[in-house]
Amino acid sequence: MLEKKLNQKIFIEKFSNANIILNNRYFEIQVDQSEIFNTIKELKEDSNFKFDQLIDLTAIDYPSREKRFDVIYLLLSMTLNQRLLIKTSIDQSESIESIIPIHRAADWYERECYDLFGIQFLNHPDLRRIMTDYNFEGHPLRKDFPLTGHTEVRYDDLEKKVVYEPVKLTQEYRNFDYMSPWEGFDNKLVGDEKSNKEDSD
């Protein structure tokens, strides 16, 4: 059976409003957030494409940009043996349409993006945290999230329960000595005499 290939001409004509990047491994298209639902729906239902599997959904945080987040969808067409990356940009105050009606597998992916980045997905049936605790403050994959977090969660043996406390650093900031451990090393190592002899020749 001959392997089917994605017809690039039809693809480019169909998504002429999108920014399209083609390479050997996958295609990438950048679309406006308002078009993301219809684009993914069309890619799944159109017989020329059949991108019927959602492999991944994630985000990237660019705090200095006006449209802070890139939301990225990775689709697969088993029929065409082709991967497709769809990218859209949104501001942190904006929401994006859930694609669960198209790809049921998006459920937990969207919850993960909400939990870790704070991205809101409209019409998601159960948009709540999935990886962090329900009382967790903030979104840990945002680049402005402190490395230590805001609260410490631990089990208290005296109270016999889990307690939440503000994070306290256990040590003062230290002055680190960045000098190489080899600097100031006077002892000769085995083989040094050979390198000195070669230098003199």
Structure confidence by residue, pLDDT tens digits, 109-149: 999 999 999 999 999 999 999 999 878 888 999 998 888 77
**Residue 22 domain-assigned (yes or no):** yes
Between CA 195 and CA 128 the distance in angstroms is 64
Q: Give the separation between CA 8 and CA 22, rounded to whole angstroms.
A: 9
The rounded distance, in Å, linking the Cα atoms of 116 and 76 is 24
**Cβ atoms of 40 and 121 closer than 8 Å:** no
Instruction: Say whether 174 sits in a helix, a strand or coil.
Output: coil
Per the structure, the complete domain to which residue 106 belongs is given by 8-200
Determine what percent of the chain falls in helix, strand and coil, rounding each to the nearest 5. 20, 25, 55
Q: How far apart are CA 152 and CA 185, in angstroms?
A: 43
Domain count of the fold of the chain: 1
CATH code for the domain of 135: 3.30.460.80
Average pLDDT for residues 190-195, to the nearest whole number? 63
State residue 180's pLDDT score.
58
H/E element holding 108? Answer: helix 106-117
Residue of 149 and 175 predicted with greater confidence: 149
The answer to the question of residue 37 being in a domain is yes
2-11, 60-69, 98-107, 175-184: least confident range: 175-184
β-strand 53-61 against 69-77: which pairing, if any? antiparallel
pLDDT band at 72; cut points 50, 70, 90? very high
The C-alpha atoms of residue 17 and residue 63 are separated, in whole angstroms, by 27
Rounded distance between C-alpha atoms, residue 121 and residue 90, angstroms: 11
Q: Is residue 3 part of a domain?
A: no
Could you tell me if residue 135 is inside a domain?
yes
Write down the pTM of the prediction.
0.75
Q: In 3D, which of 113, 58, 49 has the Cα closest to residue 84?
A: 49
User: What are the pLDDT digits (tens) for 81-106?
Assistant: 889 999 999 999 999 999 999 999 99
State the DSSP H helix or E strand holding residue 153, giving kind and residue range, or none if neither: strand 151-156
Q: Is residue 153 part of a domain?
A: yes
